[in-house]
Amino acid sequence: MSPTHDTRDRGHNDDLLAFVRASPSPYHVVASAAQRLEKAGFAELRERDDWTAGAEGGRYVVRGGALLAWYVPPGAPAYTPFRIVGTHTDSPNLRVKPAPDTGSAGWRQIGVEIYGGVPLNTWLDRDLGVSGRLALRDGSTRLVRVDKPLLRVPQLAIHLDRTVNEGLALDRQRHMTPLWALGGPRPGALLARIADEAGADAADVLGWDLMLHDVQSPGYLGAEEEFIVAPRLDNQISVHAGVTALVAAAGSRRPPAQVPVLAAFDHEEVGSGSDSGAQGPFLERVLSRSVTARGGGPEDFERALAGALCVSSDMTHAVHPNYAERHDPDHRPLPNGGPVIKVNVNQRYATDGVGAAAFAAACERAGVPWQPFVSHNAMPCGTSIGPITAARLGVTTVDVGVAGLSMHSARELCGARDPELLARVLTEFVRGS
The burial of 74, by beta-carbon neighbours within 10 Å (0-12 exposed, 13-18 middle, 19 or more buried), is given as: exposed
* CA angle (144, 147, 150) in 5-degree steps: 105
Q: Are residues 309 and 369 in the same domain?
A: yes
Q: In the prediction, which pLDDT does 211 show? A: 98
Domain assignment present for residue 1? The answer is no
> Closest Cα to residue 114, out of 222, 211, 226, 252?
211
Q: Are residues 396 and 258 in the same domain?
A: yes
What percent of the chain has pLDDT above 70?
A: 98
Give the pLDDT confidence of 24-70 residue by residue, as tens digits: 999 999 999 999 999 999 999 999 999 987 789 999 999 999 999 99
Report helix, strand or coil for 74: coil
What percent of the chain has pLDDT above 90?
A: 94
Q: Are residues 207 and 317 in the same domain?
A: no
Which carries the bigger pLDDT value, residue 1 or residue 185? Answer: 185
Q: Domain limits at 415?
A: 7-91+231-431
Confidence band, pLDDT 50/70/90 cuts, at residue 3 = very low
Collect all residues with Cβ–Cβ distance below 8 Å to 105 and sequence separation of at least 6.
Answer: none
Q: Are residues 118 and 70 in the same domain?
A: no
Domain assignment present for residue 258? The answer is yes
State the Cα–Cα distance between residues 277 and 259, nearest whole angstrom.
Answer: 22
Asked if pLDDT for residue 390 goes beyond 70, the answer is: yes
Last-in-domain residue among 214, 243, 277? 214
Domain assignment present for residue 417? The answer is yes
Domain assignment present for residue 220? The answer is no
State the Cα–Cα distance between residues 353 and 263, nearest whole angstrom.
Answer: 23
Give the pLDDT mean for 237-242.
98
> Closest Cα to residue 414, out of 424, 428, 403?
403
Give the pLDDT confidence of 299-316 residue by residue, as tens digits: 999 999 999 999 999 999
Q: Are residues 68 and 140 in the same domain?
A: no
Q: Are residues 257 and 406 in the same domain?
A: yes
Q: Are residues 40 and 97 in the same domain?
A: no
| Domain tally, the chain | 2
| 185: CATH | 2.30.250.10
Give the pLDDT confidence of 116-143 residue by residue, as tens digits: 999 999 999 999 999 999 999 999 999 9
Domain assignment present for residue 411? The answer is yes
Domain assignment present for residue 286? The answer is yes
Q: In the prediction, which pLDDT does 53 show? A: 78
Is 116:90 a contact under the CB 8 Å cutoff?
yes
Q: Are residues 342 and 314 in the same domain?
A: yes
Domain assignment present for residue 222? The answer is no
Q: Are residues 257 and 372 in the same domain?
A: yes
27 φ, ψ (degrees, to nearest 5): -70, -35
